[in-house]
Structure 1
Amino acid sequence: MSMDVGVYSRAELRKRGLDGWILRKELAGGSLFSVRNGWYAVPSADTVVVEAVRLGGALSCVSALRKHGLWVPSGYSGVHVRASRHGKQQLARSCQGPGRPVPVSTALDPIPIALGCAFRCMSDEDWIAGCDSVLNTLRLSVPALQAEMGRIPQKMYDLMSKCDPNSQSGTESLARVRLRAAGFSVHVQPDIAGVGRVDLRIGRLLIECDSVTHHTSLENYRNDRRRDRTALVNKWMTMRLTYDDVLYGWDEVMADIRAITDSDRHRIRSA
């Protein structure tokens, strides 16, 4: 189901029965206004989407993924627009996914199209994290998402082979990708007896990627500490990482993890 952002093409309005004199009446009464030729918006329309359409296309790429409520790390600024056939002359730079250009039919690109465009704007590991967010949010398998995206290049297939729909956050995805690239055997969302599900596990080292949204309420704060105590009693080690740790302090995080693993403190030893 597409998100209603209050900006519509003439074709979309026609399907709603708004055409001819009815459309002119709505425009004259202020219920709609013209954004550009063939595109209209209601007064309460999403302003970022209006800007994208006014620039000559649809809101797409990382901007559309954010609008759909999916995870995109900081550092991707500006309004990312996928140009329409007529809007290419207006835009000095626009986002475009792999393969043949898809006609712009909605003001906000659907998730598969936006993800394809983001493939060319995001770093590899950021794109994998964004793809994880799509898979987890929409409850899709990798093959199902690939089918919705149409024909995709080999590099995209290669990156999607590193995705995991079980990932619960972007920082968890980034940590997993980086740790596996460093040669660690990483388990995703393992269920630990007495503790419950944790984000990642390397041996008996449990890694939790804490977000402000889900770990700062008093209830969550208390529950996290209870889980940590239970884990320690059962001979697990817990390392909690913040958003800033993963995004801006990864070298220090990796050094700490290596300090534990190099001394084999993470090894699960049989009794």
Structure 2
Amino acid sequence: MQTGLFSTRLLRAHGMGRADVRRALATGALRRVRRGWYCLPSAAPEVVIAAQAGGRLTCLAALKSQGAWTLDSAGLHVRVADGVSVLHQPGVRIHWTPNRVGPGVDSVEEALATAIACVDFRALVVAVDSLANRGILAPVRLQAVLGVTPRGRRVLAVHDPQAESGIETLIRLALRRHRVRARSQVVIPGVGRVDFLIGDRLVIEADGYDWHGDRAAFERDRERDRELVRRGYVVIRASYRQVMSNLDDVVSAALDVIRRREHRWRAIHRTQLSESGCLIDLSSTKWRIPES
């Protein structure tokens, strides 16, 4: 991973002497990070802060820098070798290690191993779901890192590589605490994939942060919602903000539907849907909604 950090030794290896470094500093082509270390102006701020502190980016911050969806509340975590002089900064947590480490960013495996012993369970599952879904870490490597500790094995038991965003993971875990099984990324003919299907007909859709402000996506989602309702589904749509700040209300709405047994097809639904063209598989009592 390119970090934009350079040691004095590396600069010399590329032919830059002291005079060259001084000129680069004077023109702004390089910035001094700490003794013996420099960075490009384009270097990621979190990597520079970690280097200034005396170590390298690790834990969730390192996973995020390499493409994983993570919760933002964990702050900046830095792995520092024992005995190194540390510059303490607000919001920076130090992870001491007996191994010699230089500035930069931990590998995905190293950062994940640190996170297992550091962050809360929800945040850990969110990160692992994302690593798996985005192909950042292969299943065999996830197994190798997580399988060596009881906590890691708990994460393996509940993680879902189909989760496309952290808010989907948070919803799934919250439902799981209430012993509600939600199937993720279920394809409904004539509609497409839905984020969650509970029982026969309760759909939960999570609007990710990237979706915010996309008018075309907004209109498409409402068209999908109408089509789902037309086909007899109950739809709960939750925004990024609602999941992050008021997840209990989202889950409560789903639980209310379940308590009323409205997540299951009933006789009246069967009659109405049959009349509208829905097909019943009598051998399995499952419904197949035909294509439009």
TM-score of the aligned structures, taking structure 1 as reference length: 0.84
Contact in 2 for aligned 1:9/1:107 (Cα 8 Å): no
Contact in 1 for aligned 2:147/2:153 (Cα 8 Å): no
Equivalents in 2 of 1:229, 1:261: separation in Å? 21
Specify the alignment match of 2:274 in structure 1.
Answer: none
Specify the alignment match of 1:264 in structure 2.
Answer: 261
The answer for unaligned runs of 5 or more in structure 1 is none
Equivalents in 1 of 2:244, 2:20: separation in Å? 48
Contact in 2 for aligned 1:7/1:40 (Cα 8 Å): yes
1:157, distance to aligned residue in structure 2 (A):
1.6
RMSD: 2.6
Matches within 5 A, 1:163-174: 163-174=159-170
1:28 aligns with 2:26: no
Q: Which residue identity does 2:198 align to in structure 1? A: I
1:178 aligns with 2:152: no
CA separation of 1:254 and 1:6: change in aligned 2, threshold 3 A:
same
Computing the radius of gyration from Cα coordinates, the structure with the larger value is 2
Q: Which residue identity does 2:132 align to in structure 1? A: L
Q: Which residue identity does 1:162 align to in structure 2? A: V
Q: Which residue identity does 1:69 align to in structure 2? A: G
1:128 aligns with 2:129: no
CA separation of 1:193 and 1:32: change in aligned 2, threshold 3 A:
same
Equivalents in 1 of 2:84, 2:196: separation in Å? 45
Specify the alignment match of 1:152 in structure 2.
Answer: 148
Specify the alignment match of 1:221 in structure 2.
Answer: 218
Contact in 2 for aligned 1:26/1:32 (Cα 8 Å): no
Q: Which residue identity does 1:192 align to in structure 2? A: I
1:33, distance to aligned residue in structure 2 (A):
4.5
Q: Which residue identity does 1:94 align to in structure 2? A: I
Contact in 2 for aligned 1:142/1:160 (Cα 8 Å): no
Equivalents in 1 of 2:109, 2:68: separation in Å? 12
Equivalents in 2 of 1:187, 1:12: separation in Å? 51
Matches within 5 A, 1:1-271: 2=1, 4-9=2-7, 17-18=13-14, 22-30=16-24, 31-77=29-75, 79-87=76-84, 93-95=93-95, 102-138=99-135, 140-147=137-144, 149=145, 152-203=148-199, 204-214=201-211, 216-269=213-266, 270=285
CA separation of 1:128 and 1:35: change in aligned 2, threshold 3 A:
same
Q: Which residue identity does 2:192 align to in structure 1? A: G
Contact in 2 for aligned 1:56/1:86 (Cα 8 Å): no
1:83, distance to aligned residue in structure 2 (A):
0.9
Range 135-144 or range 248-257, more displaced? 135-144
User: May I ask how many residue pairs the two structures share in their alignment?
Assistant: 260
1:145, distance to aligned residue in structure 2 (A):
2.2
Deviations 1:154-213 (A, max 9, x none): 211211221111110100011112212311121011111111111111011111111231
Range 233-242 or range 42-51, more displaced? 42-51
The answer for unaligned runs of 5 or more in structure 2 is 267-284, 288-292
Specify the alignment match of 2:282 in structure 1.
Answer: none
Deviations 1:105-124 (A, max 9, x none): 45122222222222333220
SS in structure 1 at match of 2:248: helix
Which structure carries more strand by proportion? Answer: 2
SS in structure 1 at match of 2:134: helix
SS in structure 2 at match of 1:206: strand
SS in structure 2 at match of 1:190: strand
CA separation of 1:35 and 1:23: change in aligned 2, threshold 3 A:
farther
Q: Which residue identity does 1:247 align to in structure 2? A: M
Specify the alignment match of 2:281 in structure 1.
Answer: none
Q: Which residue identity does 2:51 align to in structure 1? A: V
Equivalents in 2 of 1:103, 1:71: separation in Å? 28
Equivalents in 1 of 2:221, 2:119: separation in Å? 32
